[in-house]
Structure 1
Amino acid sequence: MLIAKEDPSVGPSFSLQNRVLRQIWNWAWLLLFRFSPRPLHGWRSFLLRAFGAEIGAHVHVYPTVKIWAPWRLSIEDYAGVADGVTLYNMGHIHLGRRCVVSQGSHLCAGSHDYNSSNFQLITAPITVGAFAWVCAEAFISPGVELPEGAVIAPRSVVTKSLPTSWTVYGGTPAKVIGKRVKHEEWE
């Protein structure tokens, strides 16, 4: 999705309202979120909800997670987002129930149109399926859908939606490297 019709090289890509709201969120993140004690997941969920995020029950978002725009974030029940994760959600990011995004991972829902003369800003949503695991320092590109139960190996790069549930993907770009066993108690 195209973000702005104007040339980003001569003016801002986002509305004044968006920029002001992000500035308010950045201060709230710095003063109230970032330095909150690690066990206070409920407090951080409350802050995210206050800024428009849809947060399920028993969600664990750790204090050093950097979230660009909470109002473009939804996290289902029992999901976890570890320290050092970047949720660069210019476009919407959805995390399914019981999924895990491990430390240092980067989910990037915005980019630039490299065929545009002014590198126009574009966005595309990211969806991480239920029971999926994005391992440490993986990178997920705009527009990617990760299927239920998928595992993205450490430092892998996912540039396209992946087709098969309960599969392990790894590498740059990520490709199938194994299968994952689905246990009945995970329902």
Structure 2
Amino acid sequence: MAQEMPKKGFVGTLKEVYWELCRPNDRFDYLQFFLGEIPGYLGLLWRKKIYSRHFKSAGKNLTVYQGVRIRNIHCMSVGDDVYLGLENNFQAGGGLTIGDRVAFGPGCKVWTINHKFDDLETPIMEQGYDFKPVSIGNDVWLAANVFIMPGVEIPDGCIIAAGSVIGVKKYPPYSIISGNPARVIGNRLKNKEKEESEDKS
């Protein structure tokens, strides 16, 4: 059963909000509520400037589109030329590293935390969480509505097809990955080698 929020009254609520604003991570949640839906160039400019200060580390040329939601931004590192797409959702509490030149399509989700559920005698909501870092390499494109599960490592050069659910598995660099559960359906290096051999013949 979900735990009920204690009733604090008006003064108690103001005190709670004050203490939230004193904590950097909670303060960022309020900031992204106000900045997250600002459209156009102004929104892109403000989100880039303000979000970059809160990441664990941030590279150059960050783009954060409308509707991006990040939990535990202080546990998230992004490289150069990263595009966080429309309505992306990141839970970075377990640690999230994103390389250079990574683009997320609309509706992508990356999760680094999962509920524990091994103890059958204890309700799942009372068993706590597993924290497993996610790593995304350089030059990766995640198409619309991709879901990355905790503990996943995506190597350089991969393409993730729209709607894929990526679980923990060994993926070769430059893989084309698709499905739920996801599997490798091609490799960009092999495609290039095949094209070059056909050109020579």
Aligned partner of 1:109 in structure 2 is 112
Matches within 5 A, 1:1-187: 20-31=23-34, 33-40=35-42, 41-116=44-119, 117=122, 118-181=126-189
SS of 2:156's equivalent in the other structure is coil
* Cα offsets for 1:112-171 (capped at 9, x unmatched): 111143332121111111011111101100010101011111111111143201110111
Aligned partner of 2:12 in structure 1 is none
Question: Would the aligned equivalents of 2:159 and 2:176 in 1 still touch at CA under 8 Å?
Answer: yes
Counterpart CA distance in 1 for 2:82 and 2:156 is 13
Counterpart CA distance in 2 for 1:58 and 1:98 is 10
Counterpart CA distance in 1 for 2:156 and 2:40 is 28
- Structure 2: unaligned runs, 5 residues or longer: 5-18, 193-201
Aligned residues: 171
The percent of aligned pairs where both chains have the same amino acid is: 23
1:161 to 1:39, Cα distance in 2 relative to 1, 3 A: farther
Which amino acid is the alignment partner of residue 108 of structure 1?
W
Question: Would the aligned equivalents of 2:25 and 2:74 in 1 still touch at CA under 8 Å?
Answer: no
Specify the structure having the higher radius of gyration (Cα): 2
What is the deviation of 1:97?
0.3
Question: Would the aligned equivalents of 1:112 and 1:121 in 2 still touch at CA under 8 Å?
Answer: yes
What is the deviation of 1:85?
0.6
Counterpart CA distance in 1 for 2:38 and 2:172 is 38
What is the deviation of 1:73?
1.1
- Structure 1: unaligned runs, 5 residues or longer: 1-7, 11-15
Which amino acid is the alignment partner of residue 130 of structure 1?
N
Counterpart CA distance in 1 for 2:170 and 2:104 is 16
SS of 2:41's equivalent in the other structure is coil
The 4+ residue runs of structure 1 with deviation greater than 6 A are none
Which amino acid is the alignment partner of residue 80 of structure 1?
Y
Question: Would the aligned equivalents of 2:114 and 2:150 in 1 still touch at CA under 8 Å?
Answer: yes
What is the deviation of 1:21?
3.6
* Cα offsets for 1:48-101 (capped at 9, x unmatched): 233244111111111311111211111100111101110111211111100111
Counterpart CA distance in 2 for 1:66 and 1:161 is 26
